[in-house]
Amino acid sequence: MSDAAQPTAAEVRAAAEAIKAALDHHLEAVERRTGDDDPAVYDAFNALAAAAEFYDELLYDRYDEVTPFEIPGAEDSLPPYAGPEEPNALSVLIRRDYAVVEPPRLLAQAQRIADLDPDDRVGGSAAVVGSSVHAALGVLFGEYEPDEIASRHTEFGLEEGDSTLWVTAAEELP
Q: Within this chain, do residues 165 and 105 fall inside the same structural domain, yes or no? A: yes
Query: 119: pLDDT confidence band, cut at 50, 70 and 90?
Result: low
Residues 95 and 143 in one domain: yes
> What pLDDT shows up at residue 52?
92
Give yes or no for a contact between 93 and 166, defined as CB atoms under 8 angstroms apart.
yes
Residue 83 belongs to some domain of the structure: no
In percent, the amount of the chain with pLDDT more than 90 equals 51
> Which pLDDT band, with edges at 50, 70 and 90, does 95 fall under?
very high
Q: pTM of the full predicted structure?
A: 0.47
Whether the predicted pLDDT of 14 surpasses 90: yes
Residue 105 shares a structural domain with residue 59:
no
| 65 and 105 belong to one structural domain | no
Q: Which pLDDT band holds residue 72 (cuts at 50, 70, 90)?
A: low
Banded model confidence at residue 174, pLDDT cuts 50, 70, 90: confident
Residue 68 DSSP class: S
Count: domains in the chain: 2
**Would you say the C-alpha torsion 45, 49, 52, 58 has a positive or negative sign?**
negative
What are the tens digits of pLDDT across the range 37-51? Answer: 899 999 999 999 999
Tell me the H-state helices in the chain. Answer: 9-31, 39-63, 103-116, 133-143, 146-151
The overall average pLDDT reported for the chain is 86
**Residues 27 and 59 reside in one and the same domain:** yes
Q: Which residues form the domain of 97? A: 89-170
Tens digit of each residue's pLDDT (9 = 90 or more) over 148-173: 999 999 999 999 998 888 888 888 88
Which residues does residue 125 pair with via DSSP β-bridges, in sequence order? 122
